[in-house]
Amino acid sequence: MKTIIAYKSKVLGAVYAITLAALIGMAVFFYVKYSYILFTNFVFLILLIALAILLIDYLLQPMNAVIMDENGDLILHKNIKIPISEVTDARFYPLTAHSIDYGLGNITILTRNKKYKYRYISDCQGAVQAIIKKKYQQK
């Protein structure tokens, strides 16, 4: 039985999409109403491009980043299979601001040969704990 260990946050994608839609609406309104103010239109253009890049980066991340199979091996995106014995370390970097933990973040899985990084992971701490727990159960 395969278990999904780390998955992409759906809430963050919704927030990005809603913010982008609202920003497009505001940009169209300001362009129609105040087209003579070039600075405002330029600021909206920069914000739209920045948010579009964030949304594209979010969409390019795999939905199920780390899956554990019956043997305890990790299956990463593009069907990369890593035996749990090859994992040397797993780290998480939670998304925090002003002492608020948002419940998502980045994880890094280190093997002997390569480093795998995943962004926008829900419960990144729980995902890393599951990987490390399985690693030490194998010893």
In degrees, to the nearest 5, what angle opens at C-alpha 65 toward C-alphas 120 and 112? Answer: 110
Residue 74: per-residue pLDDT:
93
Binned at pLDDT 50, 70 and 90, residue 139 comes out as low
In degrees, to the nearest 5, what angle opens at C-alpha 73 toward C-alphas 133 and 108? Answer: 65
Taking the alpha carbons at both ends of the chain, their separation in whole angstroms is: 21
Contact criterion met (CB below 8 Å) for 131 and 87: yes
Which has more pLDDT, 136 or 34? 136
pTM of the model: 0.81
Sheet of 87-97, strand order = 87-97, 100-111, 115-122
Partner residues linked to 74 by β-bridges: 68, 82
Binned at pLDDT 50, 70 and 90, residue 95 comes out as confident
* Rounded Cα–Cα distance for residues 52 and 50 (Å): 5
Residue 65: per-residue pLDDT:
92
